Structure 1
Amino acid sequence: MENMNPESLLRKAQALGDDIKEMESIDVLGAYCQAQTRIKANRKKSLYNQLMRYAAFLTLPLLLSSLILGYLYFGGVEAEEKYAEIIAARGSVIRYELPDHSVVWLNSGSTLRYPTVFKKENRMVELKGEAYFEVEADKKRPFYVNTPEGLSVYVYGTKFNVTAYDDDDYVETVLEKGKVNVITPCKETIVLTPGEQLHYDRQTQKSIKNKVDVYGKVAWKDGKLIFRNASLEEIFKRLERHFNVDIKLNNEFGKEYKYRATFRNETLSQILDYLAKSVTLKWKIQEPEQQSDGTLTKTKIIVDLY
């Protein structure tokens, strides 16, 4: 070893001491903790970023579905309406409750078509034949009865009768309670009050409003046949529907007769016998015949008036 003077040795010892102090001053544990904290922070950040990517991936379809449903609900194309039909066979009367809790009676040979769910702004039904309505009151949603020739009846809650058979040359509306608005095919609106009837002639397209015996017009729903100043032709047409038969009237001398009568549980034969008491009238029954398709024809009644 080289000989070193005391001054040089002192400087080296001082330098070594400074290095040792610097090393001792390093906080190894603190540095370790800081390093661990940075590692955990980096891992959390990486996991957060990854989760956000997954969330975005999962949320996008949900967001699109929500937008589509919102569009369809608030402003898009409405779901297709579904309809149901009630049919009263010839010779029967049916009582039925509609989705809004309104009640309808259908007379023989009638059909009522209605949506299975009524719209928010109105309640519309289509009638062929005759029906008596007890409409559940709803001031925000009018109830419409539409007939094939374009005549409509609308109410907000009331009791009324509509007759619109295809083989009749007229359409009638009779109001029992409340108020009825009738819109004719000519777009004329006529208001009825209780006890009034609107008679619309399909041929002339003219409407006549007059007072009537309301119960006589609507008693059919209770199984009654009430005639007030009715001709034989009118009586026979109603008997045909009520008993599901065909009646042929041979008026030999063209005489006109008017009847006032009420029938409840009488058979067709009893009614014809009653009519024959006041006029020279004979009648006979032709029994049903089997057709080529295996079905039977209607019972036919031949009436001769002398």
Structure 2
Amino acid sequence: MNSDNSHIHDLIAKALASACSPEEARLLQQWLDESPANREEYQQIQQLWQDIKPAATPPRSYNTTAAWNKVDNRLQGTQPVLVPVKNRRSLILKGLTAAAVAIVVAGTLWWFKSARTSNIPQVIAANEGKVKSLELEDHSLITLRQGASITYLPGFNAQHRTVRLKGQAYFEVTPDPDKPFLIETPDHSVIEVLGTAFTVHTSDTSTTVVVSNGKVKLSGGNNSGSLILLSGEKGMNQPGKIWQQPNNDINYLAWKTGILQFNDQPLSEILTQVAGFYGKVIKVENAYQQTTTTLKATARFEGQSCAEAMHELQLLLGFTYRQEGDTIIVGQ
């Protein structure tokens, strides 16, 4: 659970003790509905609560009358109280019960939080249809593209800082020569951070790294070798080969900045990047494909919809397009 959601601990404790107000119950339910991870976390805490709750409940064999008499005898000789004895007994017993519940809930949440920070992986995902940023314990910054996720152990370990990435993310890593920062990907590539700022794009079969600042070591799986990438370079690990080249894509961070720009580029390249940026499928009619490689445009899109961007390109280059289901068809 993130530190900015620590207030949820209080709501969970009250819920387990059946002490939530209607408004608190609504807030807790809203948090549970936000993600499957939240529901799983609540279920784990609830299970822990069920496992240890009996320890806080006096066994039925206790002689509560005798216990009360001992308490009552000790109260003799004290200053008079205005609460009747019967009510006083009820209040004290309720107080003891509430204290027991509070101790058990606090202990449960402390144990759970301690476990999370030691050996339970933390999963952070950008599943809300937008970019998500986070800061790790070492002050490294990670920006996840929509649909991406990372998995890591909070606090890392004594030897290195390792995260597992699915999807695309931008990393700004805090240097620590004694504790290397490693990124593992689905295709078994390993990225060792030797500098500070870079983007990683993963799939089940390949990994692409573009370095903005500093340098990065990219190692391929299955003994395919490794290479050092410097600022302005791109490296890719694909089945059977690993290679690098200068990065000529000025829009490689468009998903993060929200800015898509083109400088005298062919329409064929523009349509490919527009499709990726907006998450659309764009196809070109066969008879028009050759033309898209010769038509060029200079344009910049920021805060515009796909429809607005396509309309502006249409005005610049004179092509036509139509929507067929979820696909945009471009032609003469």
Q: Calculate the TM-score normalised by the size of structure 2.
A: 0.55
1:205-216 equivalences in 2 (<5 Å): 205-213=240-248, 216=251
Tell me which amino acid in the other structure corresponds to 1:189: S
Q: 1:80, 1:132 → 2: CA distance?
A: 26
Q: Is the Cα–Cα contact under 8 Å of residues 142 and 154 in structure 1 kept in the other structure?
A: yes
Please list the CA deviations of residues 91-122 of structure 1 after superposition, one character each: whole Å capped at 9, or x if unmatched.
Answer: 41111111221001111221112212201110
1:199 match: 236
DSSP-derived class of the 1:95 partner: strand
Show the counterpart of 2:286: 252
Tell me how far apart the structure 1 counterparts of residues 272 and 151 of structure 2 sit (CA, whole Å): 24
Give the SS at the match of 2:252.
Answer: helix
Rg: which structure is higher? 1
* CA–CA distance in structure 2, aligned partners of residues 229 and 109 of structure 1: 31
1:86 CA drift (Å) = 1.8
Deviations 1:120-178 (A, max 9, x none): 11011111111110001101111111110111111144111111145xx7531111111
Deviation at 1:89, TM superposition (A): 3.1
Quick one: distance in 2 between partners of 1:141 and 1:220?
30
Structure 2 counterpart of 1:282 = 321
Q: Secondary structure at the match of 2:186?
A: coil
Query: Once the two structures are superposed, what CA deviation does each residue of 1:212-247 show, in whole Å capped at 9, x if it has no partner?
Result: 247532243122224568776765565455445x42
> Conserved in 2, the CA contact under 8 Å of 1:135 and 1:158?
yes
SS at match of 1:275: helix
Q: CA distance change for structure 1 residues 209 and 107 in 2, over 3 Å: closer, same or farther?
A: same
Question: How far apart are 1:192 and its partner, in Å?
Answer: 1.1
Q: How does 1:255-270 map to 2 (within 5 A)?
A: 255=290, 256-257=292-293, 261-270=299-308
CA distance in 2, matches of 1:251, 1:170: 29
Q: Matched residues in 2 for 1:237 and 1:127: separation?
A: 25
Shift of 1:301: 3.5
Superposition pairs for residues 210-229 of structure 1, below 5 Å? Answer: 210-213=245-248, 216-227=251-262
Q: Contact 2:225 / 2:242 at 8 angstroms: preserved in 1?
A: no
- Establish whether residue 303 from structure 1 lines up as the match of residue 303 from structure 2: no
Task: Please give the secondary structure, in 1, of the residue aligned with 2:303.
Answer: coil
Question: Closer, same or farther in 2 for the Cα pair 1:207/1:105, shift >3 Å?
Answer: same
Q: Which amino acid aligns with 1:211?
A: P
1:302 positional shift: 2.7
The equivalent position to 1:161 in structure 2, one of 178, 192, 199, is 199
Please tell me whether the aligned partners of residues 162 and 182 of structure 2 are also in contact (alpha carbons under 8 angstroms). Answer: yes
Q: Would you say the 8 A contact 2:121–2:152 is kept in 1?
A: yes
The whole-number CA distance in structure 2 between the counterparts of 1:171 and 1:275 is 31
What value does the CA root-mean-square deviation take over the aligned residues?
2.9
Give the Å deviation of 1:270.
Answer: 1.3
Is the contact between residue 195 and residue 216 of structure 2 (CA under 8 Å) also seen in structure 1?
no
- Cα distance in 2 between the residues matched to 1:262 and 1:190: 34
2:122 is matched with which residue? 84
What amino acid is aligned across from residue 172 of structure 1 in structure 2?
T
Task: Write the distance in 2 (CA, Å) between the matches of 1:86 and 1:234.
Answer: 33
Provide the rounded CA distance (Å) in 2 between the counterparts of 1:161 and 1:303. 31
Which whole-Å CA distance do the structure 2 matches of 1:236 and 1:124 have between them? 37
Q: What TM-score do you get using the length of structure 1 for normalisation?
A: 0.59
Report the count of equivalent residues.
Answer: 210
Percent of residue pairs identical: 27
> CA–CA distance in 2 between the matches of 1:157 and 1:278?
42
Higher helix content, 1 or 2: 2
Partner of 2:225: 188
Q: Which protein, 1 or 2, shows the higher relative CO under an 8 Å CA cutoff with sep ≥ 6?
A: 1
One-letter amino acid of the structure 2 residue matched with residue 180 of structure 1: V
More strand by share: 1
Moved more, 91-100 or 190-199: 91-100
